């Protein structure tokens, strides 16, 4: 599934680049397609199209490479952060550089279009902020699960986590496989990292804090909840399970 997502995204971005750069479908360029004809004459649209084309080729190529990595069993999240950085930097460069190819500095009545410039740079700023927020969220979700085991219970840190007291845990075991999942109800799935609420093929609602490429997994049942989690390495997970198992002994 992840292979298909990366490849489709890559092909789409390359197609966008080809559409405006090679096929000259300038009507796809937002802003330019709604300009009056006299303002279009003042835009170096060929340079803008070339800029968008290279942006699409580079970012699309990166997505395709990540898809190929996924097909060969390489965890694509390893290249996710560099890809996001490249996308953010290249998009910011595209938005700023494209302003140089527009020469509509006056309104149709001869006045300065200062408000238009403010709107343009405001849009650039909003786009940059959005890219940073999305990048930080994805970076957060691919972090390894962190837990604390103490006299009160188990604390799973971060979003969707919580404190699970020893009294509410009915059982704990170490498993090598996760149940088959049918959908994500409230959470995130980035590469092999799953965090949040999911539903299984058997209809059970479960919470996951796992890297599914790093078995085993600790399986907790209790207080009407089913939870699976693992830590950074298999050894860390086994050591945590031993500590939990010892605490649950009568």
Residue 54 pLDDT more than 60? yes
CB atoms closer than 10 angstroms to residue 161: 18
pTM over 0.75: no
Residues 6 or more apart whose Cβ sits within 8 Å of residue 153: 163, 164, 165, 166, 167, 168, 169
> For residue 249, what pLDDT is reported?
85
**Does pLDDT of 4 surpass 80?**
no
Q: What is the DSSP letter of 99?
A: G
How confident is the model over 179-191, as a mean pLDDT? Answer: 87
Q: Stretch 122-138: mean pLDDT, rounded?
A: 59
Residues 124-130 have a mean pLDDT of 57
Whether the per-residue pLDDT at 49 is higher than 80: the answer is yes
State residue 43's pLDDT score.
84
Lowest average pLDDT, out of 25-34, 41-50, 117-126, goes to 117-126
pLDDT of residue 172 exceeding 60 = yes
Give residues with Cβ within 8 angstroms of 98, minimum separation 6: 48, 51, 52
Max mean pLDDT among 56-60, 128-132, 226-230 falls in 226-230
Under the banding of pLDDT at 50, 70 and 90, the label for residue 118 is very low
Length of the chain equals 250
Contact 80, 88 (CB under 8 A): no
**pLDDT at position 155:** 94
Per-chain mean pLDDT for the chain? 82
Which pLDDT value is given to residue 53?
A: 92
pLDDT at residue 108 is higher than 60: no
- Are 240 and 218 a contacting pair, CB within 8 Å? yes
Q: Which residues contact 239 (CB under 8 A, 6 or more apart)?
A: none
Q: What are phi and psi of 103, to 5 degrees?
A: -120, 25
| φ and ψ at residue 230, rounded to 5 degrees | -145, 170
What is the edge-to-edge ordering of all strands in the sheet holding 147-149? 147-149, 153-156, 162-165
pLDDT at 189: 84
Top-ranked range on mean pLDDT: pick from 5-9, 58-62, 240-244: 240-244
Q: Calculate what percentage of the chain has a pLDDT beyond 70.
A: 80
Backbone conformation region of residue 116, classed left if phi is above 0, alpha if psi is from -120 to 50, else beta = alpha
Q: Where are the domains of the chain?
A: 2-141, 147-248
pLDDT of residue 114: 45
* Neighbouring C-beta atoms of residue 130, cutoff 10 Å: 12
Cβ neighbours of residue 20 under 8 Å, at least 6 residues apart?
26, 28, 29, 49, 52, 53
Q: What is the pLDDT of residue 107?
A: 47
Residue 77: pLDDT band with limits 50, 70, 90: low
Order of strands, sheet of 193-200, starting from the edge strand that comes earlier in the sequence: 171-175, 217-222, 225-229, 205-211, 193-200, 181-190
Beta strands 225-229; 205-211: pairing state: parallel
């Amino acid at each position: 599934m992840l292979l298909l997502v990366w490849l489709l995204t890559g092909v789409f971005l390359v197609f966008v680049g080809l559409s405006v750069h090679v096929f000259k479908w300038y009507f796809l360029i937002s802003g330019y397609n709604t300009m009056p004809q006299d303002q279009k004459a003042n835009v170096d649209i060929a340079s803008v199209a070339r800029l968008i084309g290279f942006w699409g080729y580079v970012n699309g190529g990166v997505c395709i490479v990540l898809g190929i990595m996924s097909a060969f069993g390489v965890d694509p999240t390893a290249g996710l952060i560099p890809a996001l950085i490249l996308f953010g930097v290249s998009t910011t460069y595209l938005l700023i550089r494209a302003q140089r190819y527009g020469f509509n500095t006056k309104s149709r009545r001869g006045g300065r279009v200062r408000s238009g410039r403010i709107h343009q740079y405001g849009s650039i700023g909003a786009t940059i902020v959005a890219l940073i927020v999305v990048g930080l969220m994805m970076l957060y979700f691919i972090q390894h699960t962190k837990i604390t085991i103490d006299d009160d219970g188990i604390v799973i840190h971060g979003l969707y986590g919580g404190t699970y007291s020893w009294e509410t845990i009915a059982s704990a075991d170490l498993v090598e496989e996760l149940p088959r999942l049918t959908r994500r109800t409230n959470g995130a799935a980035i590469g092999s990292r799953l965090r949040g609420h999911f539903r299984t093929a058997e209809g059970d609602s479960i919470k996951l804090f796992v890297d599914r490429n790093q078995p085993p997994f600790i399986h907790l049942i209790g207080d009407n909840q089913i939870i699976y989690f693992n830590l950074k390495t298999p050894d860390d997970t086994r050591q945590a399970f031993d500590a939990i198992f010892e605490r649950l002994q009568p």
